[in-house]
């Protein structure tokens, strides 16, 4: 039984039909990132921000975990698997993975826009202007916006320090601190990078890049183990 830590990004959900952020026609090509994903944007146009995330949330019941999500969940039968995801969808959970850290928040949760720690489950329901937390403040999506702290990073780091094997799937590694997590790995720990884009690079020793889709890459990993 190996300790396997997996970092996932938008690319693992691409085959389920969820748009990535930085690929051609990705979300950040069609939306102004600072308008919809920053605290400043929220203060200026809260209804626009709510609409952006309401649309993302409404998509969830229409999509399904793909083979890559399912193979990761299957890995748990034989190994100790920790998923650390940058994704805000619920596809790892729905595929059956048990240990999941959501670094950038979750669409199915909302929080108080003033008291950050008041987090509630909302499922697939929209958040509207006038929906209040129990403290009487406007609810906002439970999403880490640009410029905000990533509180779950502390929980994620030991899983990279202590892993026997690391798998990185479908992330352009543009966003820190998530992109820096592999630096916590022991130099002897093998890192497998699954991303069809050959230009995604982890500048460390011991990295094997499979330039494949998440599903094809995960099939290779299953053969290796």
Q: Which residues bind ligand OAD (CB under 6 A)?
A: 9-11, 14-15, 20-23, 26, 37, 86, 104, 144, 170-172, 174-175, 195-197, 200, 213-214
Enclosing H/E stretch for 2: none
Comparing CB distances to ligand OAD, the nearer of 162 and 212 is 212
DSSP 94-125: HHT---EEETTEEEEEEEESSSTT-EEE-TT-
Comparing CB distances to ligand OAD, the nearer of 97 and 213 is 213
The residue from 104, 137, 142, 209 that is catalytic is 104
Tell me how far, at minimum, the Cβ of 129 lies from ligand OAD, in Å.
21
Comparing CB distances to ligand OAD, the nearer of 147 and 186 is 147
Tell me how far, at minimum, the Cβ of 80 lies from ligand OAD, in Å.
24
- Look at residue 3 and give its three-state secondary structure: strand
Q: Among this protein's residues, is 69 annotated catalytic?
A: no
Beta strand pairing status for 3-8 and 165-169? parallel
Residue with tokens 């748990």: 76
Contact at 8 Å (CB) between 100 and 89? no
Contact at 8 Å (CB) between 103 and 85? yes
Tell me how far, at minimum, the Cβ of 1 lies from ligand OAD, in Å.
26
Using CB atoms, what's the residue nearest to ligand OAD?
11
Q: What is the signed CA dihedral for 173, 175, 177, 179, rounded to 10 degrees?
A: 0
Comparing CB distances to ligand OAD, the nearer of 3 and 22 is 22
Give me the active site residues, please: 104
């Amino acid at each position: 039984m190996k300790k396997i830590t997996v970092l996932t990004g938008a690319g693992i959900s691409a085959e389920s039909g969820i748009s990535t952020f930085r690929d051609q026609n990705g979300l950040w090509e069609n939306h102004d990132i600072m308008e919809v994903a920053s605290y400043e944007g929220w203060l200026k146009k809260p209804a626009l921000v709510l609409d952006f995330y309401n649309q993302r949330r409404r998509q969830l019941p229409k999509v399904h975990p793909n083979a890559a999500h399912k193979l990761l969940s299957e890995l748990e039968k034989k190994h100790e698997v920790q998923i650390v995801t940058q994704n805000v969808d619920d596809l790892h959970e729905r595929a059956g993975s048990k240990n999941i850290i959501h670094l950038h928040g979750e669409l199915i949760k909302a929080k108080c826009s003033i008291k950050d720690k008041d987090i509630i489950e909302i499922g697939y329901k929209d958040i509207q202007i006038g929906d209040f937390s129990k403290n009487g403040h406007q609810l906002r999506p439970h999403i880490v916006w640009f410029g905000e702290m990533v509180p779950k990073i502390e929980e994620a780091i030991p899983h990279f320090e202590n892993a026997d094997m690391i798998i990185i799937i479908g992330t352009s590694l543009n966003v820190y601190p998530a992109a820096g997590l592999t630096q916590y790995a022991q130099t002897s720990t093998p890192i497998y990078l699954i991303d069809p884009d050959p230009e995604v690079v982890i500048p460390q020793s011991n990295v094997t890049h499979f330039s494949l889709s998440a599903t094809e890459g995960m099939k290779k990993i299953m053969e290796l183990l």
